[in-house]
Amino acid sequence: MNRRGQGGRINRGQPLRFTFDGRSYQGYDGDTLASALLANGVRLMGRSFKYHRPRGVITAGSEEPNALVELRRGARREPNTRATQVELFDGLEARSQNRFPSLAFDALGVNDRLSSVLGAGFYYKTFMWPAAFWETVYEPLIRRAAGLGRLAEAPDPDCYDKGTLFCDLLVIGAGPAGLAAALTAGRAGARVILADEDFEMGGRLLAERLSLGDARAEEWRAATLEELRGLTNVRLKTRTTVVGAYDNGVYGALERVTDHLAAPHPDLPRQIFWKIRSKRALVCTGATERPIAFGNNDRPGVMLAGALRAYANRWAVAADRTVAVFTNNDDGHRTAMDLMGQGADVGAVVDVREDAPRLGDYPLFAGAQVVDTAGRLGLKSITLRRADGSTEVVPCGALGVAGGWNPALALTCHQGGRPVWRPEIATFVPGETLPERQLVAGAAAGVFSTHGAVSTGVAATVAALDGLGIRTTPPDLPRAEDAPVNIRPFWHTGEGRGRSWLDLQNDVTVKDVALAHQEGFRSVEHLKRYTTLGMATDQGKLANLGALAVMAELTGKSIPETGTTTFRPPYTPVPIAALAGRSRGREFRPTRLTPGHDWAEAQGAVFVEAGPWLRAQYFPREGETHWRQSVDREALAVRSSVGICDVSTLGKVDVQGRGAAEYLDLLYANGMERLPVGKCRYGLMLREDGIVLDDGTVARLAEAHFVVTTTTANAACVYRHMEFVRQCLRPDLDVQLMPVTDAWAQVAVAGPNARKLLQRIVDPVFDISNDAFPFMACAAIRVCGGTPARLFRISFSGELAYEIAVPACYGNSLMQVLMDVGTDYEVTPYGTEALGVLRIEKGHATASELNGQTSATHLGMARMVSANKDCIGGVLSRRPALSEKGGFRLIGLEAIGTAELAAGSHLFEDGAEKTPAHDEGWTTSACYSPHLGKSIALGFFERGDVRWGEVVEVANPIEGASVRARVVSPHFIDPKGERLRG
């Protein structure tokens, strides 16, 4: 055991059992998986991505590149979680990743022996030939070998949520700067959110042995938090990582609500993705320590010095009994002192500076470097080289590497800001172009002392709140250490025996960067793509600056000249499930039900999704075993007697005002201004580029009152277009629009007995005889003894037909009443399938034909586009390409024999080669016509209007299928329109 008997922020009264790779261990409440494993002497935690090198934990935070583990099992199995952030709970199950058969012996470790050929860019060079091998051999092979964790193969069983929070000041990070800021703002009465990714607030204070004022830092931390908890205007959010900075002071944050529990609480979401709207935001995200590259610097046991210190102070864990430190700055010496204070044996402090300070009684090697390490599955010793060139081997089980600290400034760059180089502290700090209304304080701003953190946190808060007109009284600042930064930039030890690792997650070495340089990939963005440096889950938080420095050295440029890659959200990975929240499965979007839905359901209808709607597809009857039987029956019933169909999903827009007629005349390609009151007209709507946008009917109920319909699918976008035309093109007209799709239930009543059926429910005062209410008539009427209704004599099926609309609340009753009064006509409810059959038989176009590529000419409706008036799309519809003779025309196709035609087939002259050069058109809609007793289709065919009677091949060249069909008029039934006028 590497755990001290006392100290640390763990609750020894609450031991927790957990397993790692099947072995059982014990940790305590307050542990992370990483601290508990280290306490149990487990240093080996994973295998590297490419070479399968043994790797251990290197950090104590979210920047961890190595210790990625798989948690839980079954549907809750979760790959690539950082052991440094995983809170221990009783029964936690964790497994290492990317190894076979076991972590200690990994067969793919052979990749490591092949490293000389697997260097940077080897994919691009190796898998080039033969070209055919890529899909069949290389890609499957690479896919099997690549990747770290395994996804759960079952759907995620947990609930996730999204939410929005508002505040005056968002403080990101609860270290000394963030705590001081939140306290200042909280006391001033501002609405504050303090968010921290850790499960305890305090940031670096938790990991250090410091004093603040007369007390230990811990007491100041505890007192501050207690005061903050008592303030109702302050919201404390632990386990909440702010992952992105967006426009207008908006921040994205992921809260891990129940990840620290064995299973999510039944009443709580597992995670919440917060959208935080802040008036001001203060970035107090602290800093991330960076490593130094040297030979074999990736062995388990080689860690960041600050992390080693954190494990010792916060979790009372010594990574090993004997430790060493490799540093280029004073901070490394603090690690040595803290570890000695915790009883560890510090075997060497290796400082690259000849004038290294000495803080205590430890073996100090000034002007020396660590050049190699030994130990197959864990560090056993280091080799150091003194200034005089002599070397010495120092045994140790842990090495703390202190290369200096980088401000965690990602959030300051998410809006395109670029960091600037500060040579005196040898790192990048946030630049001047911060996201709107954002401020930075503490280590994130390059102010590394505790005093500096607290004072800049307070000062930034005062400035931020001043901008909001909130007056503050800065709290008395406690005295705290204010050590200057003494650092000599040092990035790697140069040529050595072993490889020097820069990016531990992607297995990129100093040599790989040199290779990239040699091959011309010198810009940082090229370097990243060529070597994969800085990619994957950690996004190079430890690696980027080191690699940049190596590249700068090779090009002879300075680091700031070499530049940085772009920082993009998220700061740490965000599960897609959290981004989706509750919008998944059935809840992905609303399901809209028609006003007649309940009735249809009671009839046993089969439903189909039509956009957001559920529509009755067909109504199977007893004895019908195939959908075609139901559909054929329904379609024939309409042609022989009468059928009813719920068409409420059609978009409906009320158009009113003295300018309504003139407005509609501009909106539709065909004329509407002289449409008489009490009449409907088919309306064709174009886009301004001359392509057909939509079609529907326009009914004039009164001089200044129209109601127009749109297709179901286009209801929203046509309404938007209508408002555009009204507001942006004709604001002078007196016209108002109101979408009323949901207000009216609308039912098609079609078939030779349609009128007789309707006469039984229409109040007798309304005469709907053929003379009084002819084809294309419309009227506001009353039915069933006073219920308001609108009746339109329009036909989609080609039969004598009406559409009747009643207020939506009567949708179910209308269907039922029509059924009840028409038993002697055997009224047949029909669904969207039969509706489709009937309209194909009649040759009516729908979304399949109005697919955004077809003009009025293609549809055979060129004459409808009036040349005598202005209309949207009129001018460009007359362009030669859209209106020329020749070109595609809508046609009908009748299968020859019993062949079945399919929509999406292509049309070829009989016997022609099935190549694009001979392709003369395609089918858009197809069905079996029970009326004609054969398969029919609609389609577009070159010069189709003058080729009726030709026999063509309707082919699917991909599947090698081809059947023969005859080109006919698209109006298979009653082309003269006698039925619908009857």
From CA 912, how far away is CA 277, in angstroms rounded? 64
Q: Which is nearer to other proteins, 131 or 728 (CB)?
A: 728
Q: How many CB atoms neighbour CB 643 within 10 A? A: 32
**Least spacing, CB of residue 436 vs other proteins, in Å:** 8
**Least spacing, CB of residue 720 vs other proteins, in Å:** 6
Whether omega for the bond prior to residue 560 falls within 30 degrees of 0, making it cis, is no
**Least spacing, CB of residue 279 vs other proteins, in Å:** 12
Q: Which is nearer to other proteins, 84 or 854 (CB)?
A: 854
Helices 510-518 & 524-531, crossing angle to 10 degrees?
120
Half-sphere exposure at residue 651, Cβ-oriented, CA atoms within 13 angstroms: 22
Q: Which is nearer to other proteins, 448 or 567 (CB)?
A: 567
**Least spacing, CB of residue 730 vs other proteins, in Å:** 8
**Least spacing, CB of residue 249 vs other proteins, in Å:** 9
Amino acid making up residue 105: F
- The edge-to-edge listing of strands for the beta sheet with 592-593 is 592-593, 613-618, 606-610
Whether omega for the bond prior to residue 130 falls within 30 degrees of 0, making it cis, is yes
**Least spacing, CB of residue 712 vs other proteins, in Å:** 18
**Least spacing, CB of residue 728 vs other proteins, in Å:** 5
Q: Which is nearer to other proteins, 152 or 250 (CB)?
A: 250
Q: Which is nearer to other proteins, 679 or 726 (CB)?
A: 726
From CA 57, how far away is CA 80, in angstroms rounded? 13
Contact 777, 678 (CB under 8 A): yes
Q: Which is nearer to other proteins, 105 or 724 (CB)?
A: 724
**Least spacing, CB of residue 233 vs other proteins, in Å:** 22
From CA 608, how far away is CA 606, in angstroms rounded? 7
Q: Which is nearer to other proteins, 687 or 705 (CB)?
A: 687
**Least spacing, CB of residue 275 vs other proteins, in Å:** 9
**Least spacing, CB of residue 735 vs other proteins, in Å:** 12
**Least spacing, CB of residue 871 vs other proteins, in Å:** 8
**Least spacing, CB of residue 340 vs other proteins, in Å:** 52
From CA 361, how far away is CA 340, in angstroms rounded? 9
Contact 638, 799 (CB under 8 A): yes
Contact 799, 834 (CB under 8 A): no
Q: Which is nearer to other proteins, 229 or 879 (CB)?
A: 879
Amino acid making up residue 205: L
**Least spacing, CB of residue 870 vs other proteins, in Å:** 4
Q: Which is nearer to other proteins, 354 or 587 (CB)?
A: 587
From CA 93, how far away is CA 70, in angstroms rounded? 8
Taking the C-alpha atoms of 764, 810, 632 and 758 in order, what is their torsion angle to the nearest 10 degrees? Answer: 0
Three-state DSSP class for residue 927: strand
DSSP for residue 478 = P
Contact 380, 58 (CB under 8 A): no
Cα of first residue to Cα of last residue in the chain, in angstroms, is 96
**What are the CA-CA distances from residue 267 to residues 156, 199, 640 (Å)?**
17, 20, 57
Contact 650, 836 (CB under 8 A): no
Give the sign of the dihedral formed by CA 391, CA 392, CA 397, CA 398. Answer: negative
Whether omega for the bond prior to residue 570 falls within 30 degrees of 0, making it cis, is yes
**Least spacing, CB of residue 853 vs other proteins, in Å:** 16
**Least spacing, CB of residue 731 vs other proteins, in Å:** 4
Q: Which is nearer to other proteins, 416 or 949 (CB)?
A: 416
Q: Which is nearer to other proteins, 469 or 731 (CB)?
A: 731
**Least spacing, CB of residue 240 vs other proteins, in Å:** 22
Taking the C-alpha atoms of 756, 760, 762 and 763 in order, what is their torsion angle to the nearest 10 degrees? Answer: 130
Q: Which is nearer to other proteins, 877 or 929 (CB)?
A: 877
**Least spacing, CB of residue 438 vs other proteins, in Å:** 13
Q: Which is nearer to other proteins, 82 or 279 (CB)?
A: 279
What is the H or E stretch that residue 781 is in? Answer: strand 778-783
Cα-only R_g, the chain: 37
Nearest to 324 by CA among 430, 273, 395: 395
Q: Which is nearer to other proteins, 14 or 583 (CB)?
A: 583
Q: Which is nearer to other proteins, 426 or 664 (CB)?
A: 664
**Least spacing, CB of residue 910 vs other proteins, in Å:** 40
DSSP string, 792-819: E---SSSSSEEEEEEEGGGHHHHHHHHH
Residues near other proteins (CB under 8 A) are: 247-248, 250, 415-416, 436, 688-689, 716, 720, 723-724, 727-729, 731-732, 870, 874-876, 879
**What are the CA-CA distances from residue 27 to residues 31, 92, 154, 397 (Å)?**
7, 11, 30, 21
Q: Which is nearer to other proteins, 726 or 889 (CB)?
A: 726
Q: How many CB atoms neighbour CB 370 within 10 A? A: 28
From CA 937, how far away is CA 447, in angstroms rounded? 74
Q: Which is nearer to other proteins, 210 or 281 (CB)?
A: 281
Contact 15, 3 (CB under 8 A): no
Could you tell me the two tokens for 843?
A: 């040759």
Contact 630, 742 (CB under 8 A): no
* Core vs surface per residue 151-189: b (16+ CB within 10 A) or e: ebeeebebbbbbeebebbbbbbbbbbbbbbbbbbbbbbe
Q: Which is nearer to other proteins, 377 or 716 (CB)?
A: 716
